[in-house]
Structures are given as C-alpha cells and as structure tokens.
Amino acid sequence: MIYTLLFENLWAWAGLLVALEFSLVVIWSRRRTRGTARAVWIGMAMIPAGLGLSMLIETPRESVVAFCWQLARAVDEGEVSAITSQLADDFQADGIDRAAFIERLEQALTRFRVDQPRLGRFEVAFPTERSATATLTATCRLRSADAFFDRLPTRWRLTLRRDGDSWQVVKIEAIPIPPLNLRDLRDSLRS
C-alpha cells in the first residue's frame, strides 16, 4: 500500500505531501519557533523532491502499464511491425500461433482503423519475477468502409514475460464484456 502510494499514485502522494505541509504550517502558526519554521521550510522543499523521486522511479506495475500503452499506440497507428516485435516466439492467442496471429492482425488493421484507444481498469499480477499478467479494458473507435463503432469496449488478459529490460507478450485472451462479448480472439480477428 505505501509502495503504491509513494511510487504509483502521483496525485495521492502530492495530496499527502500538501496535507503534511499544511499541518506543519498550522503547528508553526501556533508555536512560532525557529524549529517549527525550519520544519515548514524543509516540508516545502520535500514536496518537489518527493514528487520528483516518485516520477523518476518506475515500478514493475508501471512498466507493464506503459508496455500496454505502447501496444495500444502501435495498434492506433497500424504499425504491425511494432506489435510483432513485442510478441514472444512461443506466442499464442486462443489457439492461434504467432504467424497466423500476425497475418490476421495485418488483415484486420487493413480493413479497420482503430482510433483513440483508451486503456483502463488495469489489474497487474506478477506470478514470478520474470512474468506478469495484465488484465485491462480497452476502449476505442473502430472504423471501416462500411461500419463505425464509437467507444467500443473490450477486455483483455495479456500474459507477459520479461526479456532483458522489456516485456514480451506470450499470450492474449479476450474476456467477454457487453456489448460485443468476445469469447475468444478469433471473434475479433475474423477475415
């Protein structure tokens, strides 16, 4: 909980630092001693230092979330090569191997234009030190020559493996949510 507050939730951390500084100012206003004045000045210096430290440190959860956003941007821009480079050699998606997935992905991104992806409701778990599971909701606009869907929600579970300093996708699973209720990835990558 403290780790999450300090390094992952910048707004909560900023709120806590400001509340602590306010408390120091209240104490100083009642006592008016050199020690309380020093505490107020130290507290003022700690706000930007604490926020800067929080922004500099990237937690494992933040690296997984950033990786998911990187994939979403690649889908938005239609960069199949950028997505392909993030897939592990033993990648699979609901019974589809890596080569078949890439082929279907190219066809789908040729037929459809994905715009304004929004990711949220992240649930990140680390079964081992070198693996992670990220469950997330992705919402986007989907356009084609004969259809348009606005704010199309989907839910995904990505199994990731750390490869050096970056993550690679080992498995993708679709999780059914209304209105599409995709049961597996084959439903969304139909040609």
User: How confident is the model over 8-56, as pLDDT tens digits?
Assistant: 677 787 888 889 999 999 999 998 999 999 999 999 998 888 888 877 8
Q: pLDDT value at position 16? A: 84
- Taking the C-alpha atoms of residue 72 and residue 156, their distance in angstroms, rounded to an integer, is 12
Residues 83 and 163 in one domain: yes
Residues 121 and 152 in one domain: yes
- Taking the C-alpha atoms of residue 121 and residue 68, their distance in angstroms, rounded to an integer, is 12
Residues 52 and 64 in one domain: no
- Taking the C-alpha atoms of residue 131 and residue 158, their distance in angstroms, rounded to an integer, is 11
Q: pLDDT value at position 6? A: 62
**How many other CB atoms are found less than 10 A from the CB of residue 49?**
12
Nearest C-alpha neighbor of 69 from the set 125, 6, 120: 120
Residues 45 and 80 in one domain: no
Residues 145 and 117 in one domain: yes
**How many other CB atoms are found less than 10 A from the CB of residue 159?**
18
DSSP 8-state secondary structure symbol assigned to residue 179: T
Q: pLDDT value at position 191? A: 45
Residues 123 and 157 in one domain: yes
CB 91 within 8 A of CB 170: yes
Count the domains in the chain: 2
Domain that residue 120 falls in: 60-188
Residue 174, classified by CB atoms within 10 Å of its CB into exposed (0-12), middle (13-18) or buried (19+), is buried
> pTM for this one?
0.73
Please list the ranges in the chain whose pLDDT falls under 50.
191
